[in-house]
Structure 1
Amino acid sequence: MTQVKAVVFDIGNVLIEWQPERFFDSVIGPDRRRAMFAAIDLHGINDEVDRGGNFRDTIHAAAKANPDWHDEVLMWHDRWMEMAAPAIDHSVRLLRALRQARVPVFALTNFGIQTFEIAEPVYPFMGEFDRRYISGHMGVIKPDAEIYRQVEADCGVPPDGLLFTDDRIDNIEMAAVRGWQTHHFDGPQGWADRLVAEGLLSKENAQ
């Protein structure tokens, strides 16, 4: 296997928990939440934000288009930070350990322009990457091949020198098709073990 030249982190559900369903369960109850998500493609609407659509305008338009759920949909905007929480502390430690070891660390994330601006002051580690590839600024989201192509064109690392972790298997599969090394994230310990196995971190530094 080619030596890893840079490590690429997804953010949602890798460094920060992203669980809108959990949030709405706590606010309106599981039954009403299930009905709302069945009636409205909220994740698809969020994809529009992640492609660069204005956060406020997109969510307010969705609320207006769904009067039966107007107030609940607005929560996606007004209480967004409660959905993007908390940080996954072990993953954050791994990010910082890699940087301490002088391993280049990139972010490749589906994230809106305005939502990233909201989250960054809350999570300082979001400013600690060597390079950040934010879908809202790139105009394309994972797993579209174009977003990976843009990373390859910019970062100066050949595809087989990139080790990428993401919680979504479709995002991982497209990276693998393009020749990236990949790790399907299902928890920080497994990711830590992979980084140790690659010789990027010691067991002690991967705690």
Structure 2
Amino acid sequence: MAGVQAVVFDIGNVLIEWQPERFFDSMIGEERRRAMFAAIDLHGINDEVDRGGNFHATITAAAKANPEWHDEVMMWHDRWIDMAAPAIDHSVRLLRALRAAEVPVFALTNFGIQTFEIAEPVYPFLGEFDRRYISGHMGVIKPDAEIYAQVEADCGVPPDGLLFTDDRIDNINAAASRGWQTHLFEHPQGWADRLVAEGVLSEEAAQ
């Protein structure tokens, strides 16, 4: 296996917690949240945003199409930054440690154009990658093979030189099928241990 030439981070649930169900449980209670998510494919609607659809227009259309849930659906727009929270501090430290070690660090994330603009001032580390591959700007989302192909064509690193972490196994499997090195993110300590094992960070730097 080739050595790691660049490290690729997913963002949601790797660098920033993304738990819409938890947010809605706190706002409307678990029972109503379950009913709403059963009635409306909110994650599928969010995928439209992540493919480049306009955030406000997409969520407003979903709210109008589901008048019985209109106000709750609009929370997805109006309170979005409260769903995308908090930062996963240890992961942020790992990102910065890799930068300090002069290891190229990329982002590969399913993220909308407007939602990323909302997140950037709240989470300054989103501006600290060497390269950012944002699905909304690319017009395709993970795990579609096309998004990985676009990264490969742009970054100049061979697939087996990329070490990619993501919290979703389907995204990991798609990358692995192209020859990328992969790590299924479950908690930041496991990711830290992998970076140490690959020799890109010292144990001290990975704390």
TM range, normalised to the smaller chain?
Answer: over 0.9
Instruction: State whether structure 2 residue 114 is matched by structure 1 residue 120.
Output: no
- Mapped to 2, the partners of 1:35 and 1:3 lie a distance apart of 48
How far apart are residue 166 of structure 1 and its match? 0.1
- Mapped to 1, the partners of 2:84 and 2:195 lie a distance apart of 25
How far apart are residue 151 of structure 1 and its match? 0.1
How far apart are residue 52 of structure 1 and its match? 0.1
Secondary structure at the counterpart of residue 16 of structure 2 = coil
Secondary structure at the counterpart of residue 82 of structure 1 = helix
Flag as ranges the 4+ runs of structure 1 deviating above 4 A: none
Deviations 1:63-122 (A, max 9, x none): 000001000000000000000000000000000000000000000000000000000000
Could you tell me which runs of 5 or more consecutive residues in structure 2 were left unpaired when the two chains were aligned: none
- Mapped to 2, the partners of 1:92 and 1:20 lie a distance apart of 21
- Mapped to 2, the partners of 1:176 and 1:202 lie a distance apart of 25
The amino acid across from 2:117 in the alignment is E
- Mapped to 2, the partners of 1:29 and 1:75 lie a distance apart of 14
- 1:13 aligns with 13
Percent identity of the aligned residues?
87
Secondary structure at the counterpart of residue 120 of structure 1 = helix
How far apart are residue 142 of structure 1 and its match? 0.1
- Mapped to 2, the partners of 1:169 and 1:36 lie a distance apart of 26
What pairs up with 1:72-91 in 2 under 5 angstroms?
Answer: 72-91=72-91
- 1:23 aligns with 23
- Mapped to 2, the partners of 1:154 and 1:206 lie a distance apart of 28
What pairs up with 1:126-165 in 2 under 5 angstroms?
Answer: 126-165=126-165
RMSD (Å) for aligned C-alpha atoms: 0.2
What pairs up with 1:32-181 in 2 under 5 angstroms?
Answer: 32-181=32-181
Q: TM-score, normalised by structure 1?
A: 1.00
Secondary structure at the counterpart of residue 43 of structure 2 = helix
The alignment of Structure 1 onto Structure 2 pairs a total of residues equal to 207
- Mapped to 1, the partners of 2:189 and 2:19 lie a distance apart of 20
Could you tell me which runs of 5 or more consecutive residues in structure 1 were left unpaired when the two chains were aligned: none
